[in-house]
Structures are given as C-alpha cells and as structure tokens.
Chains A and B, each alone.
Chain A
Amino acid sequence: MTTSQRLRILVAAALMLATAVLVAACGGDSGNGGGEVQVAQGGKPSGEVTISNWPGYIDPGKDGTAAEFEKTSGVDTTYIEDVTGNTQFFGKLQPQLERGDSGGRSLFVVTNWLAKQMYDLGYLQQIDHADLKTVFQNINPQFVDDETDPGRKFSIPWQGGLTGIWVNTSEAPEIRSLKDLFDPKYKGRVTVLDEMRDTVPLIMQMQGADPTNFTTEDWEKAIDFLKQEADSGQIRRFTDNSYTEDLTSGNAIASIGWSGDASLIGRDDVEWRKPTDGCDTFFDQMVIPVGAPNTAAALAFMNFVYRPEVQADISAYVNYVTPVDGVKEVLAKKDPELANDPLIFPPPSFTRGCSEDPNPPGSEQQQQDITEQFQDVVTG
C-alpha cells in the first residue's frame, strides 16, 4: 500500500466517523430526566396492559395468575418475562426511560436497590396508597417498610428471598458458616455470587461488621478479601444463578446462593443453610415506570396479587418469600409442608440482623467507586 493510498483510507475513515459524531451530537446530552415526579393515576381498570417480570416468577398458563387477572378485571393482559437480570433489563430500558417512555410497559419488577436508583433517576412514578387498599390491608407488617423505599412511595413488594449457602451435605456437611467456605481444603470448589449487594454484605458480616451500619472501609475490606480468595484459587468463580449447575454436577461443594433455587439443583443432598455468621435478604418490587400506558390496570394488578388466595398460587409455584399476610393459612389447607417452610414464611427471628441487599454508603460517587472495585475483582 502506498502512502497516498494509506492516507486515503485514513481520511475516509475519519470523515465517516466525523459525520457520524455530528449527526449523533444533534441528539444532545444524556442525563437525568428531570422534571417533577408523576403520580400514577388510579381508576377503573380497562383496556390492555403489559407487565414485565422475571422468568418463572409467577404461576403460568391458562389457570395462572396473569390469566386470572385478565378474566377478573377484563383487562387484556400481556405478561412477558423479559427481566433477565437487573442490569440487563436496566441496560436495555434506560435510553427509553430517559425519554419518559417505558416501551409499552405499565408495570415491571426489579430488585429493591434498582427500584430506588430508577426512582432517583426519575424513571418511576409515585403511587398513591389510596389506590392500593387491598395491598395495604394484606401486606405483612414485616415488609411494610424498606430501607430503600420508606413509606412505600414507588414500590410494592413482589417476592423476596434470602442469600445464604448451599451445601453439598454428602461431601462437606460441616460447612455452616461463611468462614467455613474459605477453608483451604475446599479450594477451587466454592462459588460466590457476582451480585455485589448479595455477596459483599455476607463477607462484611463474616468479618464482624455491623449489618445496620456498613462503612466504606467495611466494604473495601470485604472486597479485598474476595480478591485474595479469587487470586489464590479458593473461589472457583463468581456466578450468576448458574451456580446451580456447578452444585448439580459436583464442580462445587458449596455456593453462596438464593433460598428459592431448590428446583434448579438436580440432587437431593444439597441443602440451603442460613450461615451462622451472617445473612442477607432481598426483595423484588413492583414499580410503575414513567410513560406507563395504563396505570389504573397496573394498580389493579398490584391489588389483585395481594389477595391471599391469588398470592397462595404464586407462592406455591415460586417458592420464595411472600409479602402477603394470610397466605400461610390458605396454603396450610392445600399443602401443609409448604406452609411450614421457613424459607417461604420466615419468622421475624429468622431474618433479624440480616442485611437487606444494601447499597454502598456515601455519595453516589462513592457508591460508584465501590461498585467499580467489586467489578474489578469479578472481571479480573
């Protein structure tokens, strides 16, 4: 290639890019939506509604809750399971929410910390308790208040769970605490969640920090610890919920994981244990985004799923912690074993002292720094 030909290519490429940047620059800056927060309008539900939720988070099919809602309310309900992960969902919805558009969705479900972030960014509508009589009649007092949404201004609990350890009782029955996980004899056979707000609080508690008041130093110390254990090969990998595959196949004999994942693990000798030295809870929330087309129907849906009979169906299928009072009694008649499962109906003593999927402390910038530190370890 001669110099002049090389030059020509460079010029062509530069021109292309420059044109593209200029065209894109017309788009303006991205940033906070700004403006005042809308309050979702109530009213008689009608028309059609689209709801986004996590996969497998509702009893499905023609007799499922979504179909029942459609029959009872007369609203044409489209229920889609495209919340494949908090970050994935946020990533694909953010540009639209930025412009006040929800992509046709009237309601979706994300974990509480993301709900709070979305609210702070102006992507959610407020909800009026007057429109949610059934919800507030039946909500379990344990879950009325939440660190991330005191007063329940924008989120209503959907289902929740606990983060603890899954243990292969045939090979390592003695693992009962987080500290046990890091015993060198289990090197390379332990996995840890890649979700910062699940894993790090557990480690912090293991290191003696106070779950009601984590400091930035606590976070950093825990993240350093994780880096050490990853470097030494103690931690086999940072997983999303695919740790269940590792447990099933025997690659891992212990994993930090979520209480409701039993059906994903293909063996009977693996059980979930609440660690003796720390625990963490999470709660997914229903929220109404800006630009939601049919808020009356969304609010009606919220009320609908807080009826104990309806919630009982959801609970029986999903097997996570339900926020609704009275479900235990309904299930006791149909399936007593479920009704007595502490993983579905944890008594307050079970969850006392657990961290609640907290955000790192401090300003947004400090939170961002901690997030980056953790991600550096995870994508090491």
Chain B
Amino acid sequence: MTIRRRLIPYWLLAPGALWLLLFFVIPMGFMAQQALESGALLTGGFTFTWEWSNFPDSLSGNSEQIVRSFYYAGAATILALLISYPLAYAIAQQSGRWRLLLLFAVIAPFFTTYLIRTIAWKTILADQSPVIDVLQYVHLLPDDGRVLATSGAVIAGLTYNFLPFMILPIYASIERLDMRLIEAARDLYASSTQAFLRVTLPMTAPGIVAGVLLTFIPAFGDYVNATILGGTHQNMIGNKIQSLFLVERDYPEAAALSFLMMALILAVVVVYIRLAGTEAFMGEEGERA
C-alpha cells in the first residue's frame, strides 16, 4: 500500500481532530489544572497544589445527585427509545414529501429555545390544568397529586427535549434498511415479529446505539429540566455543578466533579458498547491503513 493511501484516514480526520484538540482538549487542560488547585476566590485566590483530594471530596458530597442523574437520564433514554423507534420507522416509510415534513416536525420545537419549550410544558402540566384533572380522574394521580415538582416531571421534560437526539440517528439507520431482506425473511416463513427481531432490529442496531448515547450522555448533565420542572429534591448533578461554579465559586471542586462525571459516563458508555456489540458502535475493522 502506498504512503498516500496510508495517509488518507489522517487527512480525513485532521480538520476535526485539530478543531477538537485546540478547542476542547486544551480547555480541558485548563480545567484539569483547576481541578488540582486549592483555595478560594475571595481568600487570596487559587493556587496549583496538586490537590488530588478534590476528586474524592467532590464525589462524597454529591453522590445523591449523581445517582439521581443516572436514574433520570436512564429513564428518559428508555422512554425516548420506545417513543422514537416506531416514529423513526414510520418516517422512513413515508415518501419524500411527508418524510421531510415529519423530520422537520421533529426539529421544529428547537426553534423556540429550551427555556420557552420547557415553560410551555410547565404551563401544560400546571397543578390546575385540565391535563392534571384528567390524570386525577383516571386515577393515575391521587386527588391532590401533582406532576410538577416531582421526578416524573423532570423525566418527562428530559424525554421530550432529547427526542430529536434519539429519533434522528435511528431514522438514519432505518432509512438504509434493505426491504428485500425483510421480504426474504417473510418468504422463509418468519412472522412479522420474528422478521423484526431477527432482521430489522439487528440491522438498525447502530442507529439505536447512537441514539442511546446521544440521549443519555447529554441528559445526564442536564440542569434546565430540573430547574424548571423539578422541586426541592429533584436536582441533578448538572445543577450541582452550576451551583458550585457560579454561586459557590468553588472552581476546583466544580472542575473535579466534572471530570468525575465524564469518567462515569465513559464507564457507562464502554459497558453499553460491550453489551451492544462493538461493531454497532465502531463499525467493522476497516481497511488496514
């Protein structure tokens, strides 16, 4: 193989890798430096002291929020997956005109900004809204129950706000499904369920894996839904980091906690990819460059 050929992947990778190196990795370095500092802003500033204790310290004080974030993000991801898959499938089945329109409908809520969308939901789910009345009537809620300021509201908010992140990758994957394979399966006497489980699902696995990652990871660090739709005990780790950074001005702890969060998420991602199969995430081994 010629030298030129070997270099192709590097050329393709270069612009993105350079951008991320300059504008992500180096800022992470600043953050890492901060994570190892000690002191406080108002009492003489921060100094670099290899303060490794920031890491375990930040974990111990915030474990409740971390666990809660797992729970909320996890629940939202599963719900989003259940809602999105059939929708993505339906979109992929449509002809061009409807498909474009449907895809647009999926993205459209984003034109209204996160804050306004979530406040709209807050209005819809207000304690005295007709929606709540209905839920109480069918006994999904106790008579004096409410949805807002509970975990349910936060999870609902997360699910809604991250739906496009789940729908789009799954759609992209379903769209390239070769219908002839499904026809072949049916010809071989597979029922629709079997055809789905044995052919469609595995073939769209990369889309599912991508969707799950794109939903869970940012949802884990979210803080907006908890702020607007939650109450006093629905705070997620994102809220905690906001508080540490902006209000307490404890930059070292905020930075240390952020790294811990990233490490946790990476661990979850690695485990998930193992379970889902690495090909679904990284693709085949590819040409040896």
Contact = CB atoms under 8 A, between A and B. Distances in A.
Interface of A: 1, 16-17, 19-25, 27, 29-32, 87-88, 90-91, 94, 117, 120-121, 188, 230-231, 233, 235-238, 240, 242, 245, 249-251, 363-365, 367-368, 371-372, 375-376, 378-380
A368 B43 contact: yes
B18 to A, nearest CB: 13
Contact of B127 (A87, A94, A250, A376): A250
Contacts of B149: 188, 236-237, 251
A25, A30, A250, A378: most-surrounded residue (chain B CB, <10 A): A30
B42 A238 contact: no
Contacts of B86: none
Interface in B128-150: 128-129, 146, 148-149
Nearest to A92: B246
B146 A188 contact: yes
A29 B26 contact: no
A29 B247 contact: no
B153 to A, nearest CB: 11
15 contacts: A17-B32, A24-B30, A29-B48, A30-B45, A32-B44, A87-B246, A90-B246, A91-B246, A121-B42, A233-B232, A237-B149, A249-B126, A368-B248, A371-B247, A378-B243
Interface centre among A364, A365, A380 (most CB of B within 10 A): A380
A16 B28 CA distance: 10
B152 interface: no
Nearest to B232: A230
B42 A367 contact: yes
A374 B154 CA distance: 23
Contacts of A365: 40, 43
Nearest to A87: B246
Given A23-B26, A375-B243, A251 B230 contact: no
Interface stretch (B157-165, B179-187, B233-241): B233-241
B44 A23 contact: no
A326 to B, nearest CB: 38
B108 interface: no
Contact of B230 (A237, A240, A368): A237
A25 B248 contact: no
A24 B42 contact: no
A237 B29 contact: no
B231 interface: yes
What are the 5 tightest A-B residue pairs by CB atom distance, in nearest-first order? Answer: A31-B45, A20-B29, A24-B29, A249-B126, A87-B246
Interface residues of B, number: 51
Contacts of B119: 245
A25 B48 contact: yes
B47 A237 contact: no
Interface string B27-45: 0111011100101111111
Contacts of A188: 146, 149
B272 interface: no
B246 A24 contact: no
B9 to A, nearest CB: 16
Contact of B47 (A19, A31, A379): A31
B271 interface: no
B16 to A, nearest CB: 15
Given A91-B245, A249-B127, A236 B235 contact: no
A179 B149 CA distance: 23
A311 to B, nearest CB: 32
A235 B65 CA distance: 19
Contacts of A236: 149, 231-232
A120 B243 CA distance: 22
B247 A23 contact: no
B126 A250 contact: yes
B123 interface: yes
Nearest to B123: A249
Contact of A24 (B33, B39, B235): B33
A378 B30 CA distance: 28
A289 B249 CA distance: 19
Contact of A121 (B41, B123, B227, B251): B41
B60 to A, nearest CB: 13
A379 B42 contact: no
Contacts of B44: 31-32
A55 to B, nearest CB: 13
A175 B146 CA distance: 23
A17 B47 contact: no
A364 B248 CA distance: 12
B33 A238 contact: no
Given A30-B34, A379-B235, 9 more contacts: A22-B29, A25-B33, A29-B45, A30-B45, A31-B47, A237-B231, A238-B232, A249-B122, A364-B40
